[in-house]
Copies of this chain bind each other. A is one copy, B any other.
Amino acid sequence: MTTEIPGTIRVSRTVAFGDCDPAGIAYTRRLFDYCLEAIDEAWKYVLDGKGWYELSTDHDRGTPFVNITMDFTGPVTPRDTLDLIVRLSRVGQSSITFEVSARQAGRDCFKGIFTSVVVERQIMTKVRSDDWTLHQLKAWAKV
């Protein structure tokens, strides 16, 4: 995982045989899953190792998705590394939006827009706009 641009990380990963369907390409569900895992990596990057697990278990925070939109432009196969770029594009009052775009062997494969609300888990209530999580995200992305 590397990052050069504010608010952006890059994750490279293999595509497993077991991720593919009888058509011989990565099954759509797995593309979705790759995005979620890459967004979790972005959280860890911004919050010094605190991803969804630590947020949920240690810090009483959750980030349920409210909307996800994905466009698929090309097949994904196990033959090449898949590169995912995760960009934090918006931090609102209590919601945040990540954009994920994926390329393989020089071709665009898919991209998605993932909007979450940050909540206090126990009481399932949106955090205030000055919550430490939003603060750190804004500082990172300069948004």
Mark A residues whose CB is within 8 Å of B.
16-18, 20-24, 27-29, 32-33, 36-37, 40, 51-54, 56-57, 62, 64-73, 75, 77-79, 121
Which listed residue, B22, B37, B73, touches A57 by the CB 8 Å rule?
B22
In the assembled complex, the CB of A28 is this many whole angstroms from the nearest CB of chain B, namely 5
Contacts A37-B16, A56-B22 given: A67-B67 contact, CB under 8 Å?
no
Contacts A29-B18, A37-B16, A78-B51 given: A23-B121 contact, CB under 8 Å?
yes
Residues of chain B contacted by A54 (CB below 8 angstroms): 78-79
Chain A interface helix/strand/loop/mixed: mixed
Copies of this protein in the complex: 4
When C-beta atoms are compared, the residue in chain B nearest to A28 turns out to be B65
Contacts A17-B21, A33-B18 given: A72-B65 contact, CB under 8 Å?
yes
When C-beta atoms are compared, the residue in chain B nearest to A15 turns out to be B53
In the assembled complex, the CB of A82 is this many whole angstroms from the nearest CB of chain B, namely 13
Contacts A16-B40, A51-B78 given: A24-B57 contact, CB under 8 Å?
yes
In the assembled complex, the CB of A111 is this many whole angstroms from the nearest CB of chain B, namely 11
Contact A53 B79 (CB under 8 A): yes
CA distance A28 to B65 in the complex (A): 8
Residues of chain B contacted by A33 (CB below 8 angstroms): 18, 29
Contact B22 A21 (CB under 8 A): yes
